Amino acid sequence: MKKKKSADPGKEKRASLIGQADNPVPDGAQCGFVTTPDRIRIRYAHWPAGGTRRKGTVTLLQGRAEFIEKYFEVIQDLRDRGFAVVAFDWRGQGGSQRVTRNPRRGHVSNFRKFRIDLRTVLKEVSLATYPGPHFALAHSTGALVLLSDTERLRTMLDRAVLTAPLLGLPSGAWLPGASGLRRRLLRIVSLGLLGREPLKAKAPKTSWFLEKIGFRLARFMSLIGLGRLFIPGGNGKLFVPFESNRQTSDRVRFDRFNKVLEKAPELGVGSPTFGWLSAMGRTAMALRKRQAGPNIKLPCLVLAAGGDRIVSTPMIEDFVSRTKSAAYVEIAGAEHELMTERDVFRDQFWAAFDAFVPGYEAEQDLDRAQQVMPRAATPQ
């Protein structure tokens, strides 16, 4: 495994995991850095399986602006189910190497670089440390990265579970509340004849403004060398009030993650840059092509949040309808981060996960292995 010592002690310090009384580091953690082929240092951590029956290995793919510590509860839940777990931070966030002078900028110039991160971690940590079967649990941006690289990943993974994949941004994602203001103005001007709330079936699946104007503007700004600037309205702030957050309706879990950032603000990043938006747009739009769905051969379970205000749930459903290797489950009323939502939603996520992973054939193989091992250990 490639590991390099950094001359910057701050970078080495970020390799360690930040635990707290209400968010302890799961027992047995091993962490460090792995270096990608393009010389970016990626922070990783891994844990052996818990319980008495090992079911395989799960590699966690987090969303934008997240970090390993946010998933401690999920990691322990997976270990209790018999899975070894590997987690890592994408380049530019968490404890991994930053790619801009301002460490608060959520930047990447091309999602191909995220694919390099994922392949490196799978090859040098997940596959090198733990036996199969190997699975991925990917959220939001991480799910988009995985879907964009399934041709290669199907040789490294057996199955994948995706939560709220970033396949499109909902209407009003750039300027929340603007569409409501427009409708109110139309109702006033037209004396109530126009501006009514559209039926859900007729509502736009994605943000027309972002896809027709925002993506093109981001691409233009990147081409003229301004891709590392924050998108309009963006900044380096790490915290938002619980009342205005769009991630989860669980206040306890929301506050728990903020405490991690308060203790280790170097793990956080602020708003995305023009470069990130342009790269995300190109990757998501490529999956709109007719052949994109049928070309995905990796078996996937895709879970969407019915109350998602960060990614477009209708666009996720549309994509899965074109993908024979994917199954779809929508959890009604849940916010974007299904794994950190209230238990009423989280329990539904785990029920779907347990039904899909490790899968019937893998279960049979594991049962056969469990039956053979005791006999092989018995002296003749």
Residue 193 lies in a domain: no
Q: Is the per-residue pLDDT at 373 higher than 50? A: yes
Q: Does 179 fall in a domain?
A: no
Count of domains observed in the chain:
1
Q: Which string of DSSP letters, residue by residue, matches 240-292?
A: --GGG-SS-S-HHHHHHHHHHHHH-GGG---SBBHHHHHHHHHHHHHTTSTTT
Does 115 reside within a domain? yes
Task: Note whether 47 and 14 are within 8 A (CB).
Answer: no
Q: If pLDDT is split at 50, 70 and 90, which confidence band does 211 have?
A: confident
Q: What pLDDT, in 10s, does the model give residues 234-273? A: 999 999 999 999 999 999 999 999 999 999 999 999 999 9
Got the DSSP string for 73-87? HHHHHHHHTTEEEEE
Q: Give bridge partners of residue 30 from the DSSP assignment.
A: 46
Percent of the chain surpassing pLDDT 70: 82
The runs of H, that is alpha helices, within 111-250 are 111-121, 127-129, 141-147, 150-153, 178-189, 208-209, 215-223
Is 196 inside a domain boundary? no
Domain membership of residue 64 (yes or no) is: yes
CATH number (domain holding residue 289): 3.40.50.1820
Residue 285 within a domain: yes
Does the reported pTM lie above 0.85?
A: yes
Determine whether 375 is exposed, middle or buried from the number of CB atoms within 10 Å of its CB (0-12, 13-18, 19+): exposed
Expressed as residue numbers, the domain containing 55 is 9-170+206-377
Residue 163 has pLDDT above 70, yes or no: yes
Q: Which two tokens stand for residue 316?
A: 């996720």
Percent of the chain surpassing pLDDT 90: 77
Q: Are 17 and 28 in contact (CB under 8 A)?
A: no
Is the C-alpha dihedral spanning 106, 110, 113, 114 positive or negative? Answer: positive
Give pLDDT, residue 210: 85
DSSP, residue by residue, 105-140 = -B--S-HHHHHHHHHHHIIIIIHHHS-S-EEEEEET
User: How confident is the model over 14-55, as pLDDT tens digits?
Assistant: 579 999 999 999 999 999 999 999 999 999 999 999 977 899
Amino acid letter for position 60: L
Does residue 2 lie in a domain region?
Answer: no
Average pLDDT over residues 335-358: 97
The per-residue pLDDT of the chain, averaged, comes to 88
**Pair type for strands 83-88 and 41-47:** antiparallel
Nearest to 264 by CA among 230, 236, 292, 238: 238
Does 188 fall in a domain? Answer: no
Tens-digit pLDDT profile for residues 100-147 = 999 999 999 999 999 999 999 999 999 999 999 999 999 999 999 999
**Within 13 A of 221's CA, how many CA atoms are on the CB side?**
21
Q: 137, 64 in Cβ contact below 8 A?
A: no
pLDDT value for 370: 62
